[in-house]
Amino acid sequence: MVVWRQYLVPEAQAAKVTYGKQNTKKYIVIHETDNEKSGADADAYARLQFNGMHREASWHLTVDDKEAVQSFEFNYACGGAGSAKGNLQGIQITICVNSDGDYSQAVHNAAEVVARIMRDESIPIENVVQHYYFSGKNCPRKMREGQANWLQFLAYIKNAPIGTVRKRKIPTDIERYHVVTGTYETRQAAENVHDVFKYRFGWGVHMEQISDKWRLKTALFTSKAEAKAAEKKIKAAQLSEVTDVIAE
Ligand SMILES: [Zn+2]
């Protein structure tokens, strides 16, 4: 069980250390801190980012052997990947290598968090890549040196049980939520529901393809209560048996 908490960099600061809210979220990019100093854990890095690091070193989420701490909402394009493509299309995840932490546990935790993000953001395993993939930097270094095998890491992700990541939100910004439906067998079935959402309920909505099925994701609601009310509405109209509320 990994606790995922947010310690979000405030908007004004985020504007300075990212490329803005233009991340297309196609990839999950794996990094390491490369800092073995004792105490250089996820909390420490989240605080550093909160207090203002520079653009080239911004990333979304830091994971250690105890927890995962999120610094930026994923729609921000952080600078950590070292190339425009990686920065504008990647969710940057950094694993701690602090000497007072358990590195292999941190790698396990990162795998569970990555599995959760893949599910929430509809990102396939093929698009989970190393920082090296985008810029040739030797990162994540320990993993690349074989201290945790990359293929093993991908296997952990594939086998990560759903529901082992517990999100604990400590908001520093306004919270916003999408509602997602279950999947529909055909595009037409999803389109019918899409039209109800759009023209009857007045919601912004888009369709997402997940392998050969389709699901719907609403535009953002500005509170959890609103998102929960939308879920109720969907269930009451029997448009989807299952729904989920996900944070932006
Ligand atoms: Zn890196």
Q: Label residue 170 by pLDDT band (50, 70, 90).
A: low
Range of the domain at 100: 2-168
91 alpha carbon – ligand 1 mean position (Å): 12
151 alpha carbon – ligand 1 mean position (Å): 18
Of 141, 168, 195, the one marking the end of a domain is 168
CB 194 within 8 A of CB 207: yes
140 alpha carbon – ligand 1 mean position (Å): 6
167 alpha carbon – ligand 1 mean position (Å): 24
Q: What CATH number did the domain enclosing 194 receive? A: 3.30.70.1070
In 3D space, the residue among 173, 112, 140 whose CA is nearest the CA of residue 33 turns out to be 140
Q: Label residue 172 by pLDDT band (50, 70, 90).
A: very low
214 alpha carbon – ligand 1 mean position (Å): 34
Of 118, 136, 168, the one marking the end of a domain is 168
CB 169 within 8 A of CB 6: yes
Q: pLDDT at residue 173 above 60? A: no
Q: How far is CA 30 from CA 44, 98, 130, 180, in A?
A: 19, 16, 5, 26
136 alpha carbon – ligand 1 mean position (Å): 10
More confident residue, 175 or 196: 196
The per-residue pLDDT for 187 is: 95
199 alpha carbon – ligand 1 mean position (Å): 44
What total number of domains does the chain contain? Answer: 2
Q: Label residue 137 by pLDDT band (50, 70, 90).
A: very high
The answer to whether residues 123 and 238 belong to one domain is no
Of 118, 140, 168, the one marking the end of a domain is 168
CA neighbours within 13 Å on the CB side: how many for 149?
4
132 alpha carbon – ligand 1 mean position (Å): 7
Q: What CATH number did the domain enclosing 146 receive? A: 3.40.80.10
93 alpha carbon – ligand 1 mean position (Å): 9
Q: Label residue 188 by pLDDT band (50, 70, 90).
A: very high
Comparing 34-38, 60-64, 148-152, 202-206, the range with the smallest average pLDDT is: 202-206
The per-residue pLDDT for 203 is: 78
The answer to whether residues 140 and 22 belong to one domain is yes
241 alpha carbon – ligand 1 mean position (Å): 41
184 alpha carbon – ligand 1 mean position (Å): 38
Q: Where are the alpha helices (DSSP H) in 67-186?
A: 84-89, 103-121, 131-135, 141-144, 150-159
Determine the average pLDDT of the residues in 141-151.
Answer: 92
71 alpha carbon – ligand 1 mean position (Å): 16
pLDDT digits (tens, 9 = 90+) for 203-217: 789 999 988 999 999
99 alpha carbon – ligand 1 mean position (Å): 18
The answer to whether residues 215 and 149 belong to one domain is no
Mean pLDDT computed over every residue of the chain: 90
195 alpha carbon – ligand 1 mean position (Å): 42
> What residues are neighbours of ligand 1 (ion), with CB under 5 Å?
31, 131, 139
Q: Label residue 197 by pLDDT band (50, 70, 90).
A: confident
More confident residue, 173 or 79: 79
143 alpha carbon – ligand 1 mean position (Å): 11
In 3D space, the residue among 48, 19, 35 whose CA is nearest the CA of residue 99 turns out to be 35
242 alpha carbon – ligand 1 mean position (Å): 37
